[in-house]
């Protein structure tokens, strides 16, 4: 979120009220994942009633004000200009109805879209400047915010990857954010039962995703992406957000794994996570390096 100064300024030709010289616009995030092709979109709207709204795939809508008090027709005397500048990564698809100075008598929208058609992540990042002025006059309001929009195509079937938050422990000496391709980490081989093995990291990528914290009856806990899959005993798949009351495998610090019931499962907002691939198998991560949870669990053997 970009800090803003709520500075009121009365204008001779403006509607009754005051311009917020530096509105507080929130960073806007979007994330989508699929197995074939994927598309995520972020939308930002400046409205003539003195409000703005922002939303992104997978995230709730945010809103705020550029004019105070907000009133019907507040934008009739104003023009707006929205200028996005790519800050990193791929260009994405941008549509902007306020590339130059345009009247605010109707809503103006900026959309940024990230698309992916092959396995991996495509992240689009923009810094956006929003300027408002009296029609034909001086700029009276300026705000800046960031957009990050990620589209992912997962490996076939969605298995073999996990998305722990960057500060989760993979071992006593390594957190998820520090893992590198080629390193060996603890995991569970598909079909090998509840046994810990050393698996080689084949791919890793950092992105911002909506996350959940899950915790078990015996104290194991992990923060991971909402879309992290877990395989149930009957072979069906549930995701992190659906795990309350379900069983997960966890380790107990002695090289073995036990089944434990999830007693806490709640959203913790957008976090940086690492999508770690260990070649179609599972991995262990958690807040406590001695009580990690197996993400994308194998069925109980």
Q: Which domains does the chain have, with CATH numbers?
A: 8-153 (no CATH), 156-295 (2.170.16.10)
Lowest model confidence (mean pLDDT) among 220-224, 269-273, 289-293 = 269-273
CB distance 50 to 74 below 8 Å: yes
Q: What is the DSSP letter of 73?
A: T
Beta partners for 136? none
pLDDT of residue 300: 36
pLDDT interval class at 254 (50, 70, 90): low
Q: Which residue has the higher pLDDT, 188 or 80?
A: 80
Q: How far is CA 140 from the centre of its chain?
A: 32
Q: Which residue has the higher pLDDT, 127 or 297?
A: 127
Beta partners for 121? 152
What's the rounded mean pLDDT across residues 100-120?
A: 91
pLDDT of residue 86: 92
Residues 157 and 248: their CA atoms lie apart, in Å, by 20
163-196 pLDDT, tens digit each: 899 999 998 899 998 988 888 888 877 655 667 7
pLDDT of residue 60: 79
Structure tokens belonging to residue 29: 């995030």
What pTM does this model have?
0.56
**Residues 6+ positions from 51 with CB-CB distance below 8 Å:** 63, 64, 65, 66, 70
Residues 113 and 57: their CA atoms lie apart, in Å, by 10
């Amino acid at each position: 979120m970009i800090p803003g100064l709520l500075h009121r300024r009365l204008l001779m030709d403006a509607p009754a009220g005051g311009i917020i010289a530096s509105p507080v616009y929130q960073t806007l995030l979007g994330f989508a994942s699929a197995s074939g092709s994927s598309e995520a979109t972020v939308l930002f709207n400046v409205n003539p009633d003195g409000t703005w709204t922002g939303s992104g795939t997978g995230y709730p809508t945010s809103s705020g004000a550029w004019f105070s008090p907000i009133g019907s027709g507040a934008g009739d005397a104003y023009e707006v200009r929205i200028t996005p500048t790519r800050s990193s990564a791929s260009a994405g698809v941008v549509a902007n109805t306020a590339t130059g100075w345009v009247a605010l008598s109707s809503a103006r929208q900026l959309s940024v879209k990230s698309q992916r058609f092959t396995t991996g992540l495509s992240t689009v990042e923009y810094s956006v400047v929003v300027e408002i002025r009296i029609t034909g006059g001086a700029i009276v309001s300026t705000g800046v915010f960031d957009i990050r929009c990620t589209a992912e195509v997962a490996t076939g079937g969605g298995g073999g990857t996990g998305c722990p938050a960057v500060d989760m422990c993979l071992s006593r000496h390594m957190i998820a954010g520090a893992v590198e391709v080629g390193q060996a980490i603890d995991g569970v081989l598909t079909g090998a039962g509840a046994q810990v093995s050393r698996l080689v990291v084949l791919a890793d990528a950092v992105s911002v995703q909506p996350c959940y914290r899950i915790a078990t009856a015996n104290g194991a806990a992990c923060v991971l992406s909402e879309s992290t899959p877990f395989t149930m005993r009957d072979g069906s798949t549930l995701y992190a957000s659906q795990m309350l009351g379900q069983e997960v495998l966890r380790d107990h610090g002695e090289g073995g794994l036990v089944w434990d019931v999830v007693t806490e499962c709640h959203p913790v907002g957008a976090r940086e996570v690492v999508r770690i691939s260990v070649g179609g198998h599972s991995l262990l991560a958690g807040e406590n390096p001695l009580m990690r949870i197996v993400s994308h669990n194998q069925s109980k053997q």
